[in-house]
Amino acid sequence: MKIVVGERNLLPHRELFESLLPAGVTVSWHDAFDEATIVGDLPDAAVYVGGRVTPAMAAAGRRLRLVHTGGAGTDKVSFADLPETAEVANTFHHEDSIAEYVLAAAVFLRRGLLRQDRALREDMWATSVYRPELPQPRTMRGATVGYVGFGHIGRRTADLFGALGARGVAVTGSGRVADATCLDWHGDTAELGRLMDEADVVVVSAPLTERTVGMIGGDELLRLGPDGVLVNVGRGPLVREQPLYEALRDGVIGGAAVDVWYRYPDGGDAAAPSDLPFRDLPNVLMTPHTSGVTHDTFVGRVRDITDNIRRLVEGRSLERVVTQG
């Protein structure tokens, strides 16, 4: 059985990956995503590992039995073009890493550390100790964290915020959550406005679908208010680009941590994440989709992926199979 790996984040764990595979399996590694090269490698492959499967790749992989993404998202997999024999599976393990990021970003912004850092680089002491017109920042104790989406990421993040004395509320597409013990209330997305009214920090981790694109716009950000903080670790287009920029620029909200963007590199590592000048704003923490990219995350994913390959070889049912829609 041949496996083609186009997920570059697995390269540091190549030795572990190969050590966990059953005998008789061969692996073809790709150091970077090059569609033409991968297309040429797929005709005799049974498994493709990677988050992006184009129509051309799907057409070339007529013998594929498993497409395994290197993470949770399957929005870049061309399901309709895959052969009927191919199942699609995903993997997680990013919740601990992303929860750490969300907690750190929220505290960073809520305490004004981003502004203080930039001011002190100019020899200005931006604290109420020296400038009485500045407010004393608030801790997370007693704050309300609103979760837009409450799956693996939301639940783990709520554990961390709860340890600091914060409350939690959540909205999901169905209105259901697997474990509501850490929430004051939860509902469906019809309650999004209520959540924005109540929250001091809003954590966006919902999946990107036709229903969720642009679900947070100018009206919702206005309801979050000038002291509110938004942290987006889901997908960029869940939050409307222009209204987010304007809300940050005009002080409609207090700040935002944006880890997921509207533009991504198409080869290489250089690309503006937006057509708008977010980089000029003093109240936004910008990171390049790295909230879940840690050693721990990808070791866990390697174990999931190789376990599913072993299941495929042994004729057992696969874990975390995803269907389109």
- What are the contacts of 77-84 at 24+ separation with CB within 8 A? 77/51, 77/52, 77/53, 78/53, 78/54, 79/323, 79/324, 80/324, 81/55, 82/53, 82/58, 83/58
Say if pTM beats, i.e. exceeds, 0.95.
Answer: no
Q: In this structure, are residues 206 and 212 in contact, taking their beta carbons and an 8 Å threshold?
A: yes
* Residue 186 DSSP class: E
- The first and second tokens of residue 140, run together, are 């997370």
CA atoms within 13 A on the CB side of 230: 37
pLDDT in tens, 166-221: 999 999 999 999 999 999 999 999 999 999 999 999 999 999 999 999 999 999 99
- The first and second tokens of residue 295, run together, are 């050693």
pLDDT of residue 9: 95
- The first and second tokens of residue 247, run together, are 């809300």
pLDDT in tens, 33-66: 999 999 999 999 999 999 999 999 999 999 999 9
- The first and second tokens of residue 117, run together, are 């850092």
Question: Which pLDDT band holds residue 73 (cuts at 50, 70, 90)?
Answer: confident
- The first and second tokens of residue 146, run together, are 């609103």
Q: In this structure, are residues 232 and 238 in contact, taking their beta carbons and an 8 Å threshold?
A: yes
pLDDT in tens, 94-148: 999 999 999 999 999 999 999 999 999 999 999 999 999 999 999 999 999 999 9
> What is the rounded CA–CA span in Å between residue 43 and residue 63?
7
Give the range among 205-209, 226-230, 295-299 with minimum mean pLDDT: 205-209
Q: In this structure, are residues 201 and 186 in contact, taking their beta carbons and an 8 Å threshold?
A: no
CA 270 from centre of chain = 20
pLDDT of residue 266: 85
Domains in the chain (CATH in brackets) are 2-93+295-322 (3.40.50.720), 95-286 (3.40.50.720)
Q: What is the rounded end-to-end Cα distance, in angstroms, of the chain? A: 29
- Other Cβ atoms less than 10 A from the Cβ of 78: the count is 16
Q: Taking Cα atoms as reference points, which of 71, 43, 7, 49 lies closest to residue 234?
A: 71
Q: In this structure, are residues 278 and 257 in contact, taking their beta carbons and an 8 Å threshold?
A: no
Question: Which pLDDT band holds residue 325 (cuts at 50, 70, 90)?
Answer: low
The mean pLDDT of the chain is 97
Q: Taking Cα atoms as reference points, which of 233, 235, 297, 189 lies closest to residue 75?
A: 235
